Structure 1
Amino acid sequence: METILTLNNLTKKYGPLTAVKNLSFTIHKGNVYGILGPNGSGKSTTLGMVLNVVNKTSGEYHWFDGKDSTHEALKQVGAIIEHPNFYPYMTARQNLALVCKIKGINSHKIEEKLEIVGLLDRKDSKFRTFSLGMKQRLAIASALLNDPEILILDEPTNGLDPQGIHQIREIIRRIASEGTTILLASHLLDEVEKVCTHVVIIRKGEKLYSGRVDEMNASHGFFELRASNLQKLESILVSHPSIGKVTNSEGLVTAILEEPMDAETMNSFLFENGIVLSYLNKRKESLEEQFLQLTNQTSH
């Protein structure tokens, strides 16, 4: 698989504060990656470092095969990491033409990019007449003008209304379906679930999880149980090879599964061991619960 970006132990310190700590991950061509974490977790700092606008403290990163300088490599990258700077009195097309001039790229693709973001019919409207969502879509069009290998977006739906959010997500899916790799930072689990194939979860600058989005929810679930003899119930559960952690909270015992098991099997196993259950419920942890557990933990 073709590599687009590699980070090795990337670290950024601001005095005593470590914003990003030993962050390592790799981005391969043709996928949509999300850097997911609460606000202040180091997402924007990470993007800033790889885009050469924030100086790294230590560690390494390289674009593509690492043979070109960062400056050269960034010519193949499209990025929106701050509020777009367009001239309010100029039209959408004039603003993009100026971007082409500044970047030294041909302006023949302006209409094609406006069409991708659904703004072709507004190409001659002045930027100041645009809604926030339209401004964001114009910024995406401008980042696509150089036909980048990868598009980088920092919180692309921040501040938008539900319709604006939906439109941006549809555009991201469309761009990805045409083969452009995408890296976006978001604090919204829902966003990453809907548009990304891969995710890197960070909290306080440290990586907690990296992998496919659909594997993030690969837990086997857990049982909630009640019985009259709780101590005996707990000791029998702990002895079962498929069960991991067992906890008791106010008479409700929770047994985390490390392998698949259905409720019937669990019930007969306990019955054979002299336990008659008064309550049995199998649950699967939602992605939301897992994410909150990951990002709220106070210590590792």
Structure 2
Amino acid sequence: METILTINQLTKKYGSLTAVNNLSFTIKKGNVYGILGPNGSGKSTTLGMVLNVVNKTSGDFHWFDGSDSTHTALKKVGAIIEHPNFYPYMTASQNLALVCKIKGVSKNKIDEKLEIVGLLERKDSKFKTFSLGMKQRLAIASALLNDPEILILDEPTNGLDPQGIHQIREIIRKIASMGTTILLASHLLDEVEKVCSHVVIIRKGIKLYSGRVDEMNASHGFFELKANDLVKLQQLLEEHPSIGKITLNEDLLTAILEEPMGADDLNSFLHQRGMVLSYLVKRKESLEEQFLQLTNETAL
């Protein structure tokens, strides 16, 4: 699969503050990637570096096969990293025509891009009459005018109401289905889970996880157990090869599975060793729980 972007030990420091710390990952063609992390984790700084608007401190990155300069390669990239900024008294079409002139591309695709973002019927409406969601959709249309191989979006649904969020996510899915690779930065787990195929999780500039979203949620789950003799129960669990980390919270033991195992199998294992359980439940760790664990955040 063709490589779109390669990042290798990319670092950005602002004095004593390290905003991005030895970050490495690769983006392959045809996928939707999310850079996920709490606010201030280095997402926007990372995008700024690969788009040549923020100078890197160390490390390296290259677009596509690395044969072109970053300036040349960026002609095949569409990006929105700031709030939409168009002329308020010009129409949607007029604003996009100006973007075409600046980018040196033909105006004949303006209607096509407005259709993709659901604004074709408002092509002759002035920008000042647009809602925040419509302004964001126009910005996406603008970024698509050069038929980019990758579209980069920084917090694309920030400040939008639920309907606006839904519309933007549907547009992202539609663009991806047309073969455009997408890289979006977000602090919203729900956003990444719903629209991304791959995720890079960062916290304080450090990569915590990189891979497919569905593989991140492919843990084997965990057991919650209770018994009269919790000390003996913990000792027996520690003997089982499929059990990993064990934690005790008041009168409840939690045992993380390192490989697949059913509740019946565990109950039989313990019963054969004289342990009678008063409570046994197998649970699947949610993507949210794993994200909170990785970022050391606490659920509200």
- 2:170 corresponds in structure 1 to 170
Work out the CA distance in 2 between the residues paired with 1:196 and 1:104: 31
Q: Show the 5 A alignment for 1:80-119.
A: 80-119=80-119
- 2:65 corresponds in structure 1 to 65
Q: Show the 5 A alignment for 1:6-155.
A: 6-155=6-155
Could you report, residue by residue, the CA deviation over 1:111-134 in whole angstroms, capped at 9, with x for unpaired residues? 000000000000000000000000
When normalised by structure 1's length, the TM-score is 0.98
Work out the CA distance in 2 between the residues paired with 1:264 and 1:233: 16
Equivalent AA in structure 2 for residue 29 of structure 1: K
| Secondary structure at 1:277 match in 2 | coil
Deviation of 1:104 (Å): 1.1
Q: Show the 5 A alignment for 1:139-288.
A: 139-288=139-288
Deviation of 1:20 (Å): 0.3
User: Unaligned stretches of 5+ in structure 2?
Assistant: none
Deviation of 1:269 (Å): 0.6
User: Unaligned stretches of 5+ in structure 1?
Assistant: none
Could you report, residue by residue, the CA deviation over 1:257-287 in whole angstroms, capped at 9, with x for unpaired residues? 0011111111111010010111111111111
Work out the CA distance in 1 between the residues paired with 2:29 and 2:81: 21
| Secondary structure at 1:84 match in 2 | coil
Equivalent AA in structure 1 for residue 205 of structure 2: G
Work out the CA distance in 2 between the residues paired with 1:200 and 1:239: 35
| Secondary structure at 2:280 match in 1 | strand
Equivalent AA in structure 1 for residue 66 of structure 2: G
Work out the CA distance in 2 between the residues paired with 1:135 and 1:154: 15
Aligned length, in residue pairs: 298
Deviation of 1:241 (Å): 0.3
Equivalent AA in structure 2 for residue 5 of structure 1: L
| Secondary structure at 2:6 match in 1 | strand
Work out the CA distance in 1 between the residues paired with 2:170 and 2:231: 53
Equivalent AA in structure 1 for residue 217 of structure 2: N
Work out the CA distance in 1 between the residues paired with 2:176 and 2:16: 39
Deviation of 1:209 (Å): 0.4
Work out the CA distance in 1 between the residues paired with 2:160 and 2:90: 23
Work out the CA distance in 2 between the residues paired with 1:103 and 1:267: 66
Deviating beyond 6 angstroms after TM superposition, the runs of 4 or more aligned structure 1 residues are none
Work out the CA distance in 2 between the residues paired with 1:164 and 1:251: 46
Superposed CA RMSD in Å reads 0.9
Work out the CA distance in 2 between the residues paired with 1:274 and 1:248: 20
Work out the CA distance in 1 between the residues paired with 2:9 and 2:226: 46
Work out the CA distance in 2 between the residues paired with 1:287 and 1:83: 30
Deviation of 1:297 (Å): 6.4
Deviation of 1:74 (Å): 0.3
Work out the CA distance in 1 between the residues paired with 2:92 and 2:35: 30
When normalised by structure 2's length, the TM-score is 0.98
Work out the CA distance in 2 between the residues paired with 1:199 and 1:163: 24
